[in-house]
Amino acid sequence: MMTKGIRYTGEFKRNTVFQVTDWSYSIKEVSGRLGVSTKSLYDWIKQFIKPESMRLKETDQALENSRLKVELARVTEERDILKRPQRT
């Protein structure tokens, strides 16, 4: 007779992965403490951890966003100066 697998919430999975990735607990330790198979834990890590190339791309986008915000502030200030009435 086969038993049904346990369904874990996304929050539980993220918290479990967080213990391995950010708190530096071993996979074996976390899986034993929480009663989760090591295979499931490895699968969750693959699911929640982004590849290096995607992290670099997001970093590049964040830098570009920061640069564009600074440029927008400068151009907005220039526009506001030009909108002011000219004194003669």
Residue extents of the structural domains in the chain: 8-49, 50-88
Is the pLDDT confidence value at 1 over 60?
no
The pLDDT value recorded for residue 52 is 67
Q: How many CB atoms lie within 10 A of CB 44?
A: 19
pLDDT tens-digit readout, 8-29 = 999 999 999 999 988 889 999 9
CA–CA separation, 30 vs 38, rounded Å? 9
The pLDDT value recorded for residue 50 is 73
Is the pLDDT confidence value at 66 over 70?
yes
Is the pLDDT confidence value at 2 over 90?
no
CA–CA separation, 58 vs 54, rounded Å? 6
